[in-house]
Amino acid sequence: MPATPEQPWSLPRIDRERCTGCANCAELCPVQAVAIVNGIAEIVRPEACTFCDRCERFCPEEAIGRPFVIRFASPAARGQ
């Protein structure tokens, strides 16, 4: 999913090709961080997002989701 450059990496990303504007995410977001704008979901209150993943879990199109990174512990941290 393409990232919006100004958006913090940890916020949910929205795939505008997949999103149908059904509003499940907007209705289920506990802090109104996501809303439907011009028929497509958009993160409108990024500062409010708690990364709870409700939008991701209940999107029927898998159009919204939180990115994640995998970090490997250093050998020192693993005791090697």
Distance in Å, CB of 44 to ligand SF4, minimum:
9
- Asked if residue 76 lies in contact with residue 18, where contact means CB atoms within 8 angstroms, the answer is no
State which residue, 9 or 53, has the beta carbon closest to ligand SF4: 53
Contact call for residues 64 and 14 (beta carbons, < 8 A): yes
Q: Which tokens hold the place of 79?
A: 């005791």
Q: Name the maximum alpha-carbon separation found in the chain.
A: 53
Q: Give the binding site for ligand SF4 (CB under 6 A).
A: 12, 14, 19-25, 29, 31, 33-34, 41, 49-55, 59, 61, 63-64
**Smallest distance from the beta carbon of 70 to ligand SF4, in angstroms?**
19
